[in-house]
Structure 1
Amino acid sequence: MHLLISTLVNYLMILMAMAFFTLLERKILGYIQIRKGPNKIGLAGLPVPFADAIKLFTKELSFPSSSNLLPFTYTPILGLSLALLFWSLYPFSSALYFPLYGALLFLCISSLNVYILLYAGWSSNSKYALLGAIRSIAQTISYEVSMALILLSTLISLFAFNLVSIASNQMSSTSFILPPLFIIWFISSLAETNRTPFDLSEGETELVSGFNVEFSAGSFALIFMAEYTNILTMSLFTSIFFFGSIPFILFTDISLVIKTMFFAFLFIWVRGTLPRMRYDKLMNLAWKTFLPLSLSIMIISMSMMILI
């Protein structure tokens, strides 16, 4: 019972964090573009996320007549469920349960996100949605290969799979030992979460919103929530894997939260700064640059560990 309550509170808190992260993004993008963000509703626009949620979930939910109804209905729910499942791995100090191989479980769960894109495009039974899903799947798989190799290199250098031990006992930051790994990881995280300059999964000018073009109202809201939850997830795991605890300073939940907020801010900063990449350049970056570089770094890391 205590584990169930702890899990439910954990999920509720991340949903609240995701809601206010959307408000933070709109505020920061407003100042980047020299304009005001949302500020009309309540105090400084704070109730805006709740107003958006009420608006989306009270709209009429439409189903295309030719869609595959069952997967079309449950795909957004499954997408948000996977996004929340990541937060079962959150290594806070008062958790009741810690997965022993949390880093490997992170890889397993992240690989399932491809199926959400596939089912969303296929179940819509629309050519535009299917083309958008195929393009999104190609992008996600391409960058997942590099991300897996980067993570393996990091785990080899850390000698651990338990996220709690990685976050609390890491005596030196991996980002300072292997800076190219951190740079490739962060860029791949942008591609994995479909963020600028890699937001080609939802390129409005080319695909009219891509794989989710047929989703509306509550279904679209669930996909939207899953996307922003994944941004916070990647910020969290970037903090754990590449910016561990500082020597002689005990690991605290507050320091992890601050680092996660910093990387979430970087996601917004990149969106307000960089233009969208061309698709062929995006794929070339994954297969001709990141893959050879991450493979080379992994071989070097393994060689160093063997010699040591």
Structure 2
Amino acid sequence: MSVDAALLAEIVLRAVCVLAAFLTLPLLVGQTEHKVMAHMQGRLGPMYAGGFHGWAQLVADGVKFLQKEDIVPARADAQVFRLAPAVALVPYLVALAVIPLSPDWVAADVDAGLLFVLAASAVAVLGTLMAGWSSANKYALLGSMRAAAQLLAYELPLVLAAASVAMAAGTLSLTGIGEAWQWWWLVWQFPALVVFVVAGLAEVQRPPFDMPIAESELVAGPYTEYTGLRFALFLLSEYAGVVVLSALTAVLFLGAWQGPFAEVLGPVWTLLKTGLVAVLVIWLRVAWPRLREDQLQRLAWAGLVPIALAQLALTAVVVVLQT
């Protein structure tokens, strides 16, 4: 096999692996949410689809969405309306491609991988804005405006918290950050960890930061007019966002592949830590009530931003003293 053919085969294999992970992990998170929420709330949850503990419930939901009629409102901007679900979903696929499971298990090892993931994840909110604006529905428009305000408020503390870890590691490469991580970072960078997770939840519009989709006020927010497969794509994008947030948290703050027998079990450790963060995200949905819009903005500007700035300053002092 020639060098060019071998390189092409490697690229195709990496792309297939990323796509398989992208299609599998969000569904696993969704199924886990069904069952974990059920146990936390003292109910059975889906039990019949597929037999054992309703393992095929998400497959049944997917078939249901495929059977539903795809409706485009008469007054909607049809092209933007149809494109919005893809814009909400694809950036997470792109982000997942540069998050390493181990130094050797990464589809695309980008030198500035941290910036790449943060930028790609921020693009996903454009799908929500497009959906709300193009639907010709006042509830959808209000939801998308809330999403825009939420993005502006929480993008800053998210980036500042990530910058603290990057400064401590001395690199923007996710692989480099994972290799530089040390256990005592759990204490030193703990404020940044809290800020990052909270801001990340707001970025992906997960409870208690789901004001853009507050069903008691806005029906389904930006997704009110969506049906069938396009609505399912928005649901999938939410779970994909949880996967990206959980994996990035594992790499930045939890040491990713570092653990016993890391040479062999490195990818397993990363997946286990990612799953742990995903369960925390699910638990927060069950345990915390939805914030009001004013509370949401106050938490970002008066709470998270000062903490993130203080942590960044502390990291700068420690790095200077170490050098």
TM-score (norm 2): 0.90
Letter in 2 for 1:15: L
Give the aligned partner of residue 87 of structure 1.
96
List alignment gaps of at least 5 residues for structure 2. Answer: 1-7
Cα distance in structure 1, aligned partners of 2:116 and 2:219 = 34
Give the aligned partner of residue 35 of structure 2.
27
Cα distance, 1:108 vs structure 2: 1.4
Cα distance in structure 2, aligned partners of 1:198 and 1:66 = 30
List alignment gaps of at least 5 residues for structure 1. Answer: none
Point out 4+ residue stretches in structure 1 off by more than 4 angstroms: 245-249
Give the aligned partner of residue 188 of structure 1.
199
- The answer on whether the counterparts of 2:132 and 2:143 sit within 8 Å (CA) in structure 1 is yes
Deviation readout 1:240-259 (Å, 9 max, x if unpaired): 00011558863610100000
Give the aligned partner of residue 300 of structure 1.
314
Letter in 2 for 1:105: F
Letter in 1 for 2:271: V
Give the aligned partner of residue 275 of structure 1.
289
Cα distance in structure 1, aligned partners of 2:135 and 2:13 = 36
**Cα 1:129/1:110, change in 2 over 3 Å:** same
Give the aligned partner of residue 4 of structure 2.
none
Cα distance in structure 1, aligned partners of 2:273 and 2:144 = 33
- Say which SS state the counterpart of residue 89 (structure 1) adopts: coil
Letter in 2 for 1:113: A
Cα distance in structure 2, aligned partners of 1:21 and 1:104 = 25
How many aligned residue pairs are there? 308
Give the aligned partner of residue 102 of structure 1.
113
Cα distance in structure 2, aligned partners of 1:115 and 1:14 = 20
Aligned 1:207-222 pairs, distance under 5 A: 207-222=218-233
Segment of structure 1 superposing worse, 152-161 or 85-94? 85-94
- The answer on whether the counterparts of 2:98 and 2:108 sit within 8 Å (CA) in structure 1 is no
Q: Does 1:203 align with 2:217?
A: no
Cα distance, 1:51 vs structure 2: 1.0
Give the aligned partner of residue 5 of structure 2.
none
Find the partner of 1:54 among 63, 68, 86: 63
Segment of structure 1 superposing worse, 107-116 or 121-130? 107-116
Cα distance, 1:197 vs structure 2: 1.2
Cα distance, 1:173 vs structure 2: 4.9
Letter in 2 for 1:261: G
Aligned 1:36-75 pairs, distance under 5 A: 36-43=44-51, 44-75=53-84
Letter in 1 for 2:50: G
Cα distance in structure 1, aligned partners of 2:161 and 2:17 = 32
- The answer on whether the counterparts of 1:173 and 1:242 sit within 8 Å (CA) in structure 2 is no
- The answer on whether the counterparts of 1:135 and 1:201 sit within 8 Å (CA) in structure 2 is yes
Deviation readout 1:104-152 (Å, 9 max, x if unpaired): 1112112212322221111112221111100111012201111011111
Cα distance in structure 2, aligned partners of 1:120 and 1:243 = 35
- Say which SS state the counterpart of residue 97 (structure 2) adopts: helix
**Cα 1:265/1:248, change in 2 over 3 Å:** closer
Give the aligned partner of residue 262 of structure 1.
276
Cα distance in structure 2, aligned partners of 1:33 and 1:250 = 36
Give the aligned partner of residue 145 of structure 1.
156
Give the aligned partner of residue 250 of structure 1.
262
Cα distance in structure 2, aligned partners of 1:273 and 1:248 = 33
Deviation readout 1:38-97 (Å, 9 max, x if unpaired): 111122211111111111022110000011111111110121111211111121324453
Deviation readout 1:5-62 (Å, 9 max, x if unpaired): 3212321222122112211111111111111011111222111111111110221100
Cα distance, 1:222 vs structure 2: 0.6
Find the partner of 1:171 among 182, 190, 196: 182
Letter in 1 for 2:48: K
Segment of structure 1 superposing worse, 248-257 or 287-296? 248-257
TM-score (norm 1): 0.95
Letter in 2 for 1:281: Q
- The answer on whether the counterparts of 1:75 and 1:119 sit within 8 Å (CA) in structure 2 is yes
Cα distance in structure 2, aligned partners of 1:300 and 1:176 = 13
Cα distance in structure 2, aligned partners of 1:49 and 1:247 = 32
Give the aligned partner of residue 238 of structure 2.
227
**Cα 1:173/1:207, change in 2 over 3 Å:** farther
